[in-house]
C-alpha cells in the first residue's frame, strides 16, 4: 500500500477512492440522500471529491454548479477527464486544495462529502465542515448531517498464524473471520451534528456496559451510524465506517457483570489522541 504525504502533511491512500467507488452499498445510500436533497438550480460543494462520483450525483439531481474540492494530485489528474467523458465539465468546477482551508467562490445550497472514519477518530469531516460552513447559505443542507458513535464489548479473533496480535483490529464485511461476537449491548457515547461548528471537539466519556453472557472478552468495539438530512441513515460497509476493535487484555466475564469503559480523543485527530481503559 502506498502512502502519500503531501507538503501540508495530509495523506490519502491511492486505492481508497477506488474502494469507495466500488462500495455500492455506501455509494448508493449517498446517491439516494443526494437525490432527495439537491434541488434544480442548487449550488453544491463536494468535499474530497475523489473519483468525482458524488459531485456527478449532485448534477444528476439538478445542481446548477458543483465545486468539487480535492487535495490529492493523483485524483486531480483524472477528474477533468472523468467529468468531460460524462458531459459534466460545464457544471462541475474542480478546486484543487485543502478543504479544511479552501475559500469557495460563492455560497452553497448543499454540502456533500464523505471524509468520515469510524468514531470520527480519523479523517477530516469535522475540520472540513467547520471551514465549509462559512460558505453555506442560511438554509443550506448538509447531506451527511450527523454521526453517532457507539461502543460495546466483544470477543474478537486476535490469534492468527499461531501468534497473538494485540493491536487495533477491524470488522470488514467480506473478510472471513473478522466479525466479533458481541458480549454487551451497544451504547451511543457521542452524536456530532456537522451542520454546526464543532471547534476542537473532544470526546471524554465513561460508558457503563453490562455483559449478557459468559465467556472471554478481548476488545472494545467502536461503531458508528450516519444520519442524512433526508431522514435516512447508514451504518457501515466495506469502505465506510466499519467497526474498530480496540484491544484489551483477556477478561473472563459472567452474564450480568458490569464494566465502565473510559474513552477520550480529539475528533478527526487520529489514534495518537485516543486513550481508553476498562474497569469492572
Ligand atoms: C473517503 S474519500 C471519498 C471520495 C468520494 N467523495 C466518494 O465518496 O467516493 C475522501 C477523499 O477526500 C480527499 N481528501 C482528503 N483530505 C483532503 C483535504 N484536506 N482536502 C481535500 N480533499 C481531501 C481524499 O483524497 C479522497 O479523495
Q: What is the CATH number of the domain that holds 163?
A: 2.70.160.11
Residue range 131-139: mean pLDDT, rounded: 97
Is residue 122 included in any domain, yes or no? no
Catalogue the E-assigned strands of the chain: 3-5, 11-13, 43-47, 65-70, 92-96, 108-113, 136-142, 144-155, 159-160, 163-164, 169-170, 181-182, 187-193, 202-210, 215-228, 233-234, 244-253, 258-266, 275-279
55 lines ligand 1 (CB under 6 A): no
Probe residue for ligand 1, chosen from 5, 7, 9, 12 as the CB with the greatest number of ligand atoms within 8 Å: 12
Is residue 5's pLDDT more than 80? no
Confidence band of 2 (pLDDT split at 50, 70, 90)? very low
Is residue 142 included in any domain, yes or no? no
Q: Taking the model in full, what pTM does it have?
A: 0.94
Question: Measured in angstroms, how far is the CA atom of residue 47 from the centroid of ligand 1?
Answer: 7
29 lines ligand 1 (CB under 6 A): no
Is residue 233's pLDDT more than 90? yes
d(CA 204, CA 190): 9
pLDDT value of residue 13 = 59
Residue 21 near residue 49, CB atoms below 8 Å: no
Confidence band of 12 (pLDDT split at 50, 70, 90)? low
Measured by CA distance, the residue closest to atom 19 of ligand 1 is 98
100 lines ligand 1 (CB under 6 A): yes
Residue range 19-46: mean pLDDT, rounded: 97
Q: Point out the ligand 1 atom lying closest to the alpha carbon of residue 26.
A: 8
The whole domain housing 262 covers 147-279
Residue range 8-22: mean pLDDT, rounded: 74
Element (H, E) at 85: helix 73-85
Residue range 224-237: mean pLDDT, rounded: 98
What order do you get walking across the sheet with 275-279 strand by strand? 202-210, 258-266, 275-279
Domain-ending residue, one of 114, 135, 163: 114
How many domains in the chain? 2
State pLDDT tens for residues 62-112.
999 999 999 998 899 999 999 999 999 999 999 999 999 999 999 999 999
Is residue 183 included in any domain, yes or no? yes
pLDDT value of residue 200 = 76
Is residue 129 included in any domain, yes or no? no
Residue range 110-139: mean pLDDT, rounded: 96
Is residue 168 included in any domain, yes or no? yes
Probe residue for ligand 1, chosen from 2, 46, 48 as the CB with the greatest number of ligand atoms within 8 Å: 48
Cell of 214: 459468559
Question: Measured in angstroms, how far is the CA atom of residue 90 from the centroid of ligand 1?
Answer: 22
53 lines ligand 1 (CB under 6 A): yes
d(CA 274, CA 267): 9
d(CA 97, CA 99): 6
**Do residues 52 and 164 both lie within one domain?**
no
Amino acid at each position: 500500500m502506498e502512502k502519500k504525504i503531501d507538503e501540508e502533511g495530509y495523506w490519502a491512500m491511492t486505492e481508497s477512492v477506488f474502494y469507495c467507488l466500488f462500495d455500492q452499498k455506501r455509494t448508493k445510500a449517498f446517491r439516494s440522500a443526494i437525490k432527495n436533497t439537491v434541488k434544480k438550480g442548487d449550488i453544491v460543494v463536494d468535499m474530497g471529491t475523489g473519483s468525482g462520483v458524488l459531485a456527478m450525483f449532485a448534477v444528476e439531481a439538478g445542481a446548477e454548479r458543483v465545486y468539487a474540492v480535492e487535495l490529492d494530485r493523483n485524483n486531480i489528474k483524472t477528474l477533468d477527464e472523468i467529468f468531460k467523458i460524462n458531459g459534466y465539465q460545464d457544471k462541475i468546477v474542480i478546486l484543487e486544495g485543502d478543504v479544511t482551508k479552501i475559500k469557495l467562490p460563492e455560497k452553497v445550497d448543499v454540502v456533500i462529502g464523505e471524509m468520515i472514519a469510524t468514531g470520527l477518530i480519523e479523517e477530516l469531516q469535522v475540520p472540513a465542515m467547520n471551514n465549509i460552513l462559512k460558505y453555506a447559505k442560511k438554509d443550506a443542507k448538509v447531506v451527511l448531517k450527523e454521526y453517532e458513535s457507539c461502543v460495546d464489548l466483544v470477543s474478537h479473533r486476535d490469534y492468527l498464524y499461531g501468534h497473538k496480535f494485540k493491536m487495533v483490529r477491524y470488522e470488514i464485511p467480506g473478510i472471513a473471520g473478522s466479525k466479533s461476537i458481541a458480549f454487551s449491548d451497544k451504547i451511543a457515547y457521542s452524536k456530532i451534528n456537522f451542520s454546526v461548528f464543532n471547534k476542537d471537539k473532544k470526546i471524554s466519556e465513561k460508558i457503563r456496559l453490562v455483559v449478557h453472557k459468559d465467556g472471554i472478552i478481548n476488545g472494545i468495539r467502536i461503531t458508528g451510524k450516519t444520519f442524512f438530512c433526508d431522514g435516512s441513515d447508514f451504518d457501515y460497509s466495506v469502505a465506510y465506517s466499519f467497526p474498530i476493535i480496540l484491544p484489551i487484555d483477556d477478561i473472563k466475564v459472567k452474564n450480568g457483570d458490569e464494566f465502565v469503559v473510559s474513552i477520550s480523543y480529539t475528533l478527526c485527530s487520529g489514534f495518537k489522541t485516543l486513550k481508553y481503559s476498562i474497569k469492572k
